[in-house]
Amino acid sequence: DSKRRVRNSFQRFTPALVQSQQEKLKLEAQLRRAADNNEFHLVYQPQVDLRQGRIVAAEALIRWRNQQLGEMRPDHFIGHAENTGDIIRIGRWVLREACLQAARWRDAGLGIVRIAVNVSYRQFLGEDLAATVRDTLREFSLPGAALELEFTERVLIEDAPDTMRTFAELRALGVMLTIDDFGEGYSALNYLRRLPIHGLKLSQLFVSGVPGNSSDIAVCQAVAGIARSLALGVVAEGIETEAQRDFLLRLGVPVGQGFLFAPGLHADEFGYRMLEEQRRAG
Ligand code: C2E
Ligand code: MG
Ligand code: MG
Ligand code: MG
């Protein structure tokens, strides 16, 4: 019966749970000592100019070699380090090691090779990142341009109070800031391609800025491009001016709404407009 099944399933699964719990604790204990034991190193993946094949930067990727646990990929331990809080110390180590390497390359006459460092969201929240970066650059007499920081989309989504200030400070240092794996995890794009929907509404937030604001233009182009690629319809919201309408038309956005055409209307007024339009169309 079902009661016995439940009990059996407990008997079957509890040891495995305990074992995985023990493994987790073991990994976390090892992780805590890993930095002091010099068990981490970085590998550098070139970022290449696709036309000329030139290396323009390197992404630093952490590796962990442990006596008992062997060689481990970051996907197996970064999450644990985030949970325990060790990510802050590990992240500092990565940053310093990357800058040390950039300084070594510079001193070897290779010039400044920009190094991209991955920053965990937990690390971002857990320390004054701009201060740490400033101090580390200064330690090796490196310009900010020697460093790139890669953040996950969480930094966009969570909108923490200090995010803007920290990013502004990092920018002021000359550090390059990028969003890693854009569209992969927290963004709506992942759902976008899976959900059986018909279209997107291009937010007034961006429509209001065209055709004058270059970043709003970029977002409108991107949204229109995504919609086209996924064969979704797109409707622009909040069109208030003819310039906005013309811009969106040129972008291939076929449909829009906004005060330029009409505000929200009462049912009878709406009906009147419909009638009027039909009369005009003949
Ligand atoms: P990976 O080296 O195994 O790193 C996996 C992820 O762990 C990284 O994804 C990054 O999110 C995180 N990570 C690595 N180092 C650090 C670190 O120092 N601090 C923190 N907080 N997180 C870190 P990411 O950044 O997207 O890196 C690209 C991954 O894709 C790397 O895996 C890289 O080795 C791998 N990769 C690069 N080129 C290829 C390829 O052509 N094919 C495949 N399958 N994988 C590739
Ligand atoms: Mg990365
Ligand atoms: Mg990536
Ligand atoms: Mg990744």
- The per-residue pLDDT for range 240-253, each reduced to its tens digit, is 999 999 999 999 99
**73 CB under 6 A from ligand 1?**
yes
**ipTM higher than 0.95?**
yes
pLDDT at 3: 46
Work out the number of other CB atoms within 10 angstroms of the CB of residue 9: 10
Q: What is the CA radius of gyration of the chain?
A: 26
**96 CB under 6 A from ligand 1?**
no
- The per-residue pLDDT for range 229-275, each reduced to its tens digit, is 989 999 999 999 999 999 999 999 999 999 999 899 888 888 777 76
Distances (CA, A) of 120 to 72, 88, 140: 18, 9, 23
Q: By alpha-carbon position, which residue is closest to atom 10 of ligand 1? A: 118
- The per-residue pLDDT for range 45-72, each reduced to its tens digit, is 999 988 888 889 999 999 999 999 899 9
pLDDT at 252: 94
Q: Is 194 strand, coil or helix?
A: helix
pLDDT at 8: 47
* Residue 181 CA to ligand 3 centre (angstroms): 4
- Alpha-carbon distance of 225 to 210, in angstroms, equals 16
- The per-residue pLDDT for range 170-209, each reduced to its tens digit, is 999 999 999 888 777 656 777 788 788 899 999 999 999 9
pLDDT at 17: 65
